Amino acid sequence: MKLWDKGISVNKKIEEFTVGRDREMDLYLAPFDVMGTMAHIIMLEKIGLLEKNELQQLLFALKKLYARAQAGDFKIEEGIEDVHSQVELLLTREMGDIGKKVHSGRSRNDQVLLDLKLFTRDRLAKLVNGVEGLFEVLQRKSEEHKDKLIPGYTHLQVAMPSSFGLWFGAYAESLADDLLFVQAAWKMANQNPLGAAAGYGSSFPLDRTLTTQLLGFDDLNYNVVYAQMGRGKTEKAVAYALASVAQTIGKLAVDGCLYMSQNFGFVQLPDELTTGSSIMPHKKNPDVFELIRAKCNKIQALPETIGMITANLPSGYFRDLQLIKEVYVPAFEELMDCLEITAFAIENMKVADEVMTDDKYKYAFSVEEVNKLVLQGVAFRDAYRIIGEKIEKGDFEADLNVNHTHEGSIGNLCTDQIKNKMQCIIQGFDFEKVTAAIKTLTT
């Protein structure tokens, strides 16, 4: 079944090529397509295109379909082109001509726009929850090990004292900033395109404000041409948000790989979280961090992939846009997996004690000695020269005690302030409004 079928058979090779993986990707969109159809037919009844009893029959059938889709029991049958066609087919089988009325005032163009926005909104909410979980683990580890020093590096050269508190805490605060990108993407996705039809509106007196309210959107994409232009633009903006989170996790994974190596020896994973070698019996490899790094690099390329698909498209709909789903839809699950496994690895990570007592790190404390002289009244440039001469002569002795008190330093991690920053960002999403609207619509 094809919603555009006019009785002309399409060549099998062309059909397979043009459908591609769309049916596979559309299974992710099934609950959202059903949900959008519910809102649309409530609006159709209000403007007189459905009878009240027809609406009740359709809603009863759609709520059953929604439950099936939520349970993963929704299938797109062989020969059915997409999720939109499958939903309409099932309604028509059950209710005859009533089922054929649900497409009035819609195009598959604004249907898929709506499905993708509802899908994106759902997955971004899950992503925020995953980010918050990793954030909490990192903050716990930061406080737990705040007094354990490790070297900080510039140019991969030993630079100044750092700490496990700073290291874990840095990635926690980075995730807070990442959620600012996610929040911007959420606000862009949380606008209703339904009613744009094929991108040029409809002669039916559609009530787009009603469907916006029913689906819990913050606002509409008002201009129908722009609503269609948002296909690809929204996905690219969201991809940048995913890439920001991936950048943070990927960098943490790189540090994990380095710090687990014998040349560093700062952290360890339990044996059951590592892998071995087929010929080297001593090996305990950080494969988990290596794969996180690779997957996050892949996600960071996503905005450019989407950008290249859409780069030379004018306004209006083009089939090129279908390919975005193939790279966009699975990216959420991949990033969620990375968040979950990173949190698990960090939770089980063991950190080394007394790292900085190793003599090779003693010059990391040189700045502390310079600062002590400055506090005694020596000009900074003279203090720098004095300590530098001691190092050159081999006379430098390190005091392993540090006294950093300013905000965000070794002795003042500002864990509570960073937590408050994160909580304020999360509150800005207003997930409760969306959850309430969807619950009202679908139950």
CATH match for 108-357+413-442 among 1.20.200.10, 2.60.120.590, 3.30.210.10, 3.40.605.10: 1.20.200.10
Could you tell me which residues come within 8 angstroms of residue 384 by beta carbon, excluding any fewer than 6 positions away?
370
Task: Fold for 12-101, please state it.
Answer: Fumarase C; Chain B, domain 1 (1.10.275)
Rg of the chain's alpha carbons, rounded to an integer?
28
Contact 33, 111 (CB under 8 A): yes
pLDDT of residue 3: 54
Angle, vertex CA 200, rays to CA 59 and CA 56, nearest 5 = 10
Tokens 């903050």 correspond to 139
Structure confidence at residue 15 (pLDDT): 65
Single-letter code of the amino acid located at 178: D
Residue 134 contacts residue 343 (beta carbons within 8 Å): yes
Q: What is the mean pLDDT of each run of 10 residues along the chain (443 residues)?
A: 57 67 85 98 98 97 96 92 93 95 95 97 98 98 97 96 98 98 98 97 97 98 96 97 98 97 94 85 90 97 96 90 94 98 97 95 96 96 96 93 95 97 96 96 94
Domain ranges of the chain: 12-101, 108-357+413-442
3-state SS, residue 276: coil
Query: Which strand (E) or helix (H) includes residue 149?
Result: strand 149-154
Distance CA 149, CA 356 (A): 6
Cα angle 42-45-46, degrees, rounded to a multiple of 5: 90
Residue in the structure block whose two tokens are 């409760």: 432
- pLDDT of 20 reads 66
Q: With H, G, I as helix, E, B as strand and everything else as coil, classify residue 305.
A: helix
Task: Compute how many other C-beta atoms are within 10 angstroms of the C-beta atom of residue 185.
Answer: 24
CA-to-CA distance for 172 and 166, rounded, in angstroms? 10
Residues 6+ apart with CB under 8 A from 57: 95, 98
Alpha-carbon distance 227 to 109, whole Å?
A: 10
- Residue 25's pLDDT is 82
Strands (E), 99-145: none
Q: Which are the contacts of 102, defined by CB distance < 8 A and separation ≥ 6? A: 37, 40, 41, 44, 58, 87, 88, 91
Alpha carbons within 13 angstroms on the beta-carbon side of residue 184 total: 13
**239: Cα separation from own chain's centroid:** 8
User: Can you give the pTM of this predicted structure?
Assistant: 0.92
The two tokens of residue 121 are 């909104």
Exposed, middle or buried: residue 32 (CB in 10 Å: 0-12, 13-18, 19+)? buried
Separation in Å, CA 102 to CA 37, 89, 218: 7, 11, 24
| Alpha-carbon span 108 to 298, nearest angstrom | 30
Match 């003042």 to its residue by tokens: 412
Q: Are 300 and 243 in contact (CB under 8 A)?
A: yes
CB 50 within 8 A of CB 101: yes
> Position of tokens 């404390």?
365
Angle at CA 232, nearest 5°, toward 231 and 236?
135
**308: Cβ contacts below 8 Å, ≥ 6 apart:** none
User: Strand 191-192 and strand 219-220: pairing?
Assistant: parallel
